[in-house]
């Protein structure tokens, strides 16, 4: 039975799909990266929101200023909450919801010089950077639908937005364009992060393999050294035994020589006694 041919994915389709799903090694799966991202966003957003709260307060936009002050306090609380890893998902959702409300309020109120609608273009970058591609598209889509509803209510006469009518008509297309730019930017960030994680895993594997190789070589050298020490001890014992044997052999030779000498002397004395006996007769 022949195997069915594998389905091939068009590279272009695969690249386009990355704009919506990102990479599996994205920030949503990395606790350390989530903490760094939250600290980075809060460090920039908190003072920025505080400055605009003061400006809007003195410009008469008190409602928007109040929303921005609340946003500042929520951003500052993140520095304490990120110390608890189990709360990171909740912190990200709270931050995103806070930004959603603040930017929507700015869109409706207009703020200083009617710049609120321009700040709405920051939402995709904020969402993708904070949530990652897979989750951020839900927030971006919800924000785009809410803005479209507000613009439709403006044209229907149910809501008065402080913007030029022509600009409002083109704004949804501009927002989609900026959302795609933000998605491309986030895809590159997640791709670099995944490459970084893979490099770290490869280095960790190489380090573990090197440690195992060094441990094996160390064990082999230790065993060889023990064997060599044993052989040296054997050689020492053999040499000592040989020296003792040589000493015993020399001692035996000396005793044999002494015995021979004594025997010769005794024989000579015996012969001398026999001759003397003959002479006496």
The tens digit of pLDDT for each residue in 1-18 reads 444 444 565 666 666 677
What integer pLDDT is reported at residue 26 of this predicted model?
47
What average pLDDT does the segment 144-167 reach? Answer: 92
Q: What is the pLDDT of residues 89-125, one digit of tens each?
A: 888 888 999 999 999 999 999 988 888 999 999 999 9
DSSP conformation letters of 94-159: HHHHHHHHHHHHHHHH--GGG-HHHHGGGHHHHHHHHH-HHHHHHHHHHHHHHHHHHHHHHHTTS-
* 201: its two tokens: 């895993």
pLDDT of residue 89: 82
Task: Inform me whether the pLDDT recorded for 151 exceeds 90.
Answer: yes
The average confidence (pLDDT) of the chain is 84
Asked if residue 145 has pLDDT above 90, the reply is: yes
CA distance linking residue 54 with residue 152, whole number of Å? 31
Is the model's pTM score more than 0.85?
Answer: no
Eight-class DSSP state of 281: -
* Closest by Cα among 85, 81, 53, 55 to 67: 53
- Phi, psi dihedral angles at 167 (to 5 degrees): -65, -40
Q: Which tokens sit at 56?
A: 């809007």
The alpha carbons of the chain give a radius of gyration, in whole angstroms, of 47
Q: What is the pLDDT of residue 5?
A: 47
- The confidence band for 25, taking pLDDT boundaries of 50, 70 and 90, is very low
Instruction: Give the span between the Cα atoms of 215 and 23, in whole angstroms.
Output: 37
């Amino acid at each position: 039975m022949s195997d069915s041919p594998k389905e091939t994915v068009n590279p272009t389709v695969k690249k386009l799909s990355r704009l919506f799903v990102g990479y599996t090694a994205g920030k949503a799966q990395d606790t350390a990266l989530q903490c760094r991202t939250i600290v980075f966003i809060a460090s920039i957003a908190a003072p920025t929101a505080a400055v605009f709260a003061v400006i809007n307060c003195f410009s008469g936009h008190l409602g928007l200023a109040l929303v921005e002050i609340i946003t500042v306090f929520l951003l500052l609380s993140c520095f304490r909450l990120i110390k608890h890893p189990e709360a990171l998902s909740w912190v990200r959702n709270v931050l995103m919801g806070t930004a959603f409300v603040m930017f929507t309020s700015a869109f409706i109120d207009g703020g200083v010089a009617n710049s609120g609608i321009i700040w709405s273009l920051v939402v995709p970058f904020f969402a993708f950077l904070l949530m990652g591609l897979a989750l951020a598209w839900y927030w971006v889509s919800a924000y785009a639908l809410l803005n479209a509803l507000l613009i439709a209510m403006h044209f229907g006469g149910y809501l008065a937005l402080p913007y030029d009518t022509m600009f409002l008509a083109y704004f949804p297309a501009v927002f989609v364009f900026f959302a795609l730019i933000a998605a491309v930017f986030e895809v590159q960030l997640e791709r670099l992060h995944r490459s970084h994680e893979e490099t770290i895993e490869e280095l960790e594997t190489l380090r573990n393999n090197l440690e195992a190789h060094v441990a094996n070589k160390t064990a082999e050298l230790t065993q060889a050294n023990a064997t060599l020490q044993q052989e040296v001890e054997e050689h020492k014992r053999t040499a000592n035994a040989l020296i003792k044997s040589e000493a015993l052999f020399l001692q035996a030779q000396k005793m044999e020589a002494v015995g021979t000498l004594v025997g010769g002397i005794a024989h000579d004395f015996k012969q001398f006694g026999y001759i003397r006996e003959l002479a006496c007769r």
